[in-house]
Structure 1
Amino acid sequence: MITEDPGQGGDLLVKTSACPSYESALLELLATTSEMVSQATVGKTAKTAAQRKEKAVRDAVDKRDLEERMQCVRSAIDHAWEQLKPAGDPVDFPIRTGRLSDQVGYNVSAVRVGLYGTGETEELALIDLKGKMGSWIMALEWKKQADAKVQSAILQ
């Protein structure tokens, strides 16, 4: 019989009847544990080596695709920074990435401009940051147009 050992913090304790030999004790232990294993794995299928290899290949492709998508988002952020940065500011645009305190999302911060993005994944947080930078660019464009109209009205 297998039970939890209360003195060992829930470790399993194996209780067997007296066995005439070491082999018979192992056979009894195997019989007891095989029933537990079959109950624990009911409805679950074992993966073959080919299935594990196929999954590893898919995971590697997914990781490469994610890296490519994140590089595209970072390139778009760099392009937005080129439009936003004041003359003479450094070209580099440091972004800090961290996990949110609830551990269910990411926070990316562009400290230089005081913007941040959040998302369930780092990619989504970067996309959020890119969107906020795009809003800034649009606002700056509207300001330039408004300033041009004011300047035009002054000159007339």
Structure 2
Amino acid sequence: MKKLAALLLTALMVFSVSAALAAEGSLVIYSPHDADPLQAGIALFQAAYPDVKVEYIAAGTGELLQRVAAESENPLADVLWGGGADSLAAFKPYFQPYVSANDGVIADAFKDAEDLWIGESPLPMVLFYNKTLVSEEDAPKTWEDLLNPKWKGKIAYAS
């Protein structure tokens, strides 16, 4: 089921930008996701637009967002597929509004109010800790708890 959902989301994302890109002849996708689930959607796109070259560049969200910022005067990517809403919000100045042709079937909860991004999978942001290093009583319970100086230098966060 996850592979089917990834295929459908990829096809929706890629086909929604197809008309403009077909005229340009290329589509550059930056994504922190593994390419395997996207390949079927990319193959569908390439079957519909055989003259459009698709380039897929995979890296971590933080690395890709830094790349987007560095390329802001001469953007190389057409689509950034993936990354958490918190990460995307921090880089809002580097995105352009876009309303998909499929906008009507996407719930507002999954869209940025300024049309800068469309969410593809709601993931919870959770706290977890090493029980051998931190007791249950001492463990942070909220994001605000992490502001306590005792956690300085002891927090890891994926980028």
Q: Tell me which interval the TM-score lies in, with the shorter structure as reference length.
A: under 0.3
Question: Which structure dedicates a bigger proportion of its chain to strand?
Answer: 1
**TM (normalized to structure 2)?**
0.21
Q: What is the TM-score normalised by the length of structure 1? A: 0.21
When you count helix as a share of all residues, which structure comes out higher?
1
- Computing the radius of gyration from Cα coordinates, the structure with the larger value is 1
Q: Which has the higher contact order (CA 8 A, sep 6+)?
A: 2
